[in-house]
Each structure stands twice: as C-alpha cells, then as structure tokens.
Amino acid sequence: MAFIFGKTVTLSNGFIRSHTPKISVLQRLMDALLIIGAFRLIGWFYEVPPENYQLGFAVITALCFYAVGQARGIYGSWRISTIKSEFWEIILVWIVSFSLILVLAYVTKTSANFSRRVVLTWLVLSPSLLVVARLLVRMLLHELRRRGRNTRTVAIVGTSRVARQMVEKINTMSWTGMVFNGYYDDLTADRLPTEQTSALSGDLSELLVLARDGKIDVVYIALPMRDEQRIIDLVNRFSDTTVSLYLLPDSFIFELMNARWISLDGLPIISIYETPFYGVDGWVKRIEDIILSSAILVIIALPMLLIAFAVKLTSPGPVFFKQRRYGLKGEVVHVWKFRSMTVCEDGVNIPQAKQGDARITPLGAFLRKTSLDELPQFINVLQGSMSVVGPRPHAVAHNEEYRRLIQGYMLRHKVKPGITGWAQVNGWRGETDTLDKMQKRVECDLYYIQNWSLWLDLKIVWLTIWRGFGGRNAY
C-alpha cells in the first residue's frame, strides 16, 4: 500500500519494474530541473536576475549533463551500483558538462556577462543537489525493498564457488532488492559433492517452468567454462522465457573479459598482459600529463624555491636527490626529489625509511610527511619519464627483491610510474615492512592498469588533493 497524491494505492512487486521507462525519463527531467532551478535560485539569492540568454546557457548545461551522463551510464539501473560509485560519476559528469559550457561562453565572448559569485556557487550547488536527490530516491527504493516491494527473484544454475559467492553478495546487499530462490542443476547426485547436492532446489526443467510462469526474474549461469555446450543449450532454452540471463565466469575468465580483444585478419586474439595506453589513449594520457604538470609547476614554483633554500640552509649536501628507479618497460629512469636525508643512497642494498630513521633530517621529516619532497617529480612528468598518476616507482634494489617474491610485480611497469596512484589514495603508501603490504600495493597498481580511464585518473587526483599528500604511513 502507498499514499500517493491523497489516494491509497496498492503497489505490486512489479509496479516500479513496469514503470521503469517512465522513471528513467523522470530521472532526466529531475536532473535538468535541479540544474536550471539551482541557477535561477542562486541568481535570486544574490539579487542578480539572469538574462534569457544566461538561462539558455543553463539549459544547454543541463543538456550537456544529460548527454555526457547517458554516455557514462548514470541513467542505467541503480540496483547493483553503489551510491559511492554513482556519486563520483555525477561529479565527473558535472565537471565535464560545466567545462564545456565555460568553453562555449568563452567562444561566444559572453563569459564576462556572468556573475562570478553565481557561477562558482552554481558549480558547487548543482552537483550537491544531484547527489542528494539520488540519495533520497535510493532511500525510498531501499525502504520499498525492505518491505518486499520492487524485488527481483534470482536463481543460479550451478553450485560452484563463484555461485556461492554470488549468493553471499545477494544476502548481504539487501539494498539491491534481489531475493535468492535457489540453486538448480541437472547433474546427478553422484556427480556433485555432498554439500552441493544438498543445496540444490531442483533441476533445470523445474527452473524453466518457474521462469515461464514469471516466478523467476533473473538467472545466473555459474557453470565451468569447459561446459561450453551446456551453457549454449541453457542460453537457447531460456530464450523461450522473459528472464534476465547472466553468466558468472570463473576468476580466470573474468580477467580475460577485462582484457583487450583484438583481431588479426578475422582471427580473435585476447591480450593478457599489455599497456592500456595504445593509440588515442596514449595521446590522451600524455596530454593529460603535460597539462596537469605544467599547471602544477606554475603553482608550486615559489614553494619549490623556498624548500630548496630551506634544504640548503638546514643541512650540508645537495638540494636535490636523484635516484634510479624502474620506469616504463622496466627501463631505468632517474627520479628527482628534494633531499630529505643526510645521505644519498642508490646502491644495491637500500634500507627503506622507517619511523624515527636517523638518516632523515628534521626538515626532511616534514617534507616526507607532507610529500613535499616529491614536488620535483612534476619535472619528470613534463620530461616524459613519469606520469602524474600511475604506480609509485620503487628503488631498483627494492624492485629486484620484490619481483622474486610477488607474482605479477613487474606488470606495474606496463605503464609509466606516477607521483600518486590508486594504491596511495587507498592507504597503501609509506613503508612496506611486510610482504602483505607490498602485495596490497601491487594489487592496487594492477587494478589501476586494468581499469584505466581518464575518469579514474581525475578521481585519483581529486582524492589525493582531498585527503592530502601526507598520511599516517608517510615518514
């Protein structure tokens, strides 16, 4: 039951499902109204009534947000996406849309006609309203799903490890509104482990009957990839139903699905290990590095000069410290830093810096804690030996040690090393006094390489600024 516009209405479990296209349209209208309405509201608040052409810019911004958002998939189903991931998508889509409108205002020579206070407030208020609106909608959907509305009944073919992992996700993520019905398989009891046999709810014929009767909404196939013919037969049999059908691959196949698929004269080839920066993506990454490093070097020029004087005055030795690190393709590059120690070690055995390390100068301790010692590396970025975002480079001696201990360690060098990276914004920076810590850092680095996008780079840069360059593990 629900109370809508003064009337009591009974909502069936499929009410929202049957109105999904309408709700999708309402999402877009809501976004447009919030963007345009925020612009009008801010103008009223600052007593700067917008002209008609200025309102036109707000409308164009709303259209840009819709177009970019559509391309980024923010108007798809929210059922299995998290509010955190959607939050970042909205922020990034808004930044792109806002940037496009700034370019348009500059080209049409109308930028001077806009109030800076209005524009800056709009820049912050609009995405805030968009996020809050989605949060409220999610809260409403969560409450409906808690009451058993807007749910999806899920069945799984197979009882493999990945199938059981899926059930754990369904049971712990109640906000998705997915309700697990059971496992189904045609294998006889003597061909399945005892614990898997007892978990079965029925065979595939029974599942097909439930699917045709509309009692099952979603089916996940969790069979081994070697059972290719069984999977093909299942796909064909379920084509006679209206269920949503998905394939749950094992971990190896999942990695392959994230890999790049190429064709050699019609022959399909799967790339297992490669750099993500082929073709246009390579140019995008390099342009990003040049723009960011140039802008940042202009901003930090004076602080770098002051730090250089401070290093020279507080301890004997050079201002800069140059150390060999492995870069792209495992080739040695020279990385620049402000000297933070009384020694400049670059040998075969280099002990990692530890808390209270006697080699670190008093000023060096501050520089390392705040990561200000790494500012000269923006020169490395401009030169092309490093990127703003990428796996942090390790000393050559440490590289040789860890490549023997951690499988896939050298895959970090499929891309240029970076000043900040996915590992650093997730807390894996500073001393790696255990193998497990380095393993976690490498896992983050490989995740970045496999999932690189301009959006991910911008997210990492934002998180680095938001959380600060320093951290509790930096010394």
> How many distinct helices (H) and strands (E) make up the chain?
17, 13
Q: Which CATH architecture has domain 152-258?
A: 3-Layer(aba) Sandwich (3.40)
Residue 123 φ then ψ, to 5°? -60, -35
Q: How many CB atoms lie within 10 A of CB 185?
A: 25
Structure confidence at residue 445 (pLDDT): 92
Structure confidence at residue 349 (pLDDT): 54
402-433: burial string, b at 16+ Cβ within 10 Å, e else: bbeebeebbbbbbbbbbbbbbbbbbebbbebe
Cβ within 8 Å of residue 326, ≥6 positions away? 332, 333, 393, 394, 396, 399, 413, 417
Q: Measuring CA to CA, which residue among 384, 375, 379, 459 is closest to residue 415?
A: 384
Taking only the tens of pLDDT, the chain with its 475 residues reads 333 233 333 333 433 344 445 556 778 888 889 999 998 888 888 877 767 667 788 888 899 898 888 877 777 655 556 677 778 888 888 988 888 888 888 887 877 777 888 889 998 999 999 999 888 887 877 777 666 666 788 999 988 888 888 888 888 877 677 888 889 987 655 555 555 555 677 888 889 988 888 888 888 888 887 788 888 888 888 887 878 888 887 665 555 555 566 655 566 666 666 777 876 788 889 999 999 999 999 999 999 999 999 988 888 888 888 888 888 888 888 998 888 876 655 555 555 555 556 678 888 888 888 888 889 999 999 999 999 999 998 888 888 888 888 888 888 888 999 999 999 898 877 666 688 888 889 999 989 988 888 888 988 998 888 876 544 554 4
Q: Domain ranges for the chain, please list them.
A: 2-146, 152-258, 280-467
Q: Is 6 helix (H, G, I), strand (E, B) or coil?
A: coil
What is the rounded distance in angstroms from the CA atom of residue 139 to the CA atom of residue 441?
35
> For residue 164, what are the CA distances in angstroms to 24, 160, 168, 197, 223?
32, 6, 6, 13, 12
What is the rounded distance in angstroms from the CA atom of residue 474 to the CA atom of residue 429?
7
Contact 206, 214 (CB under 8 A): no
Angle, nearest 10°, between helix axes 116-146 and 20-45?
150
Structure confidence at residue 293 (pLDDT): 92
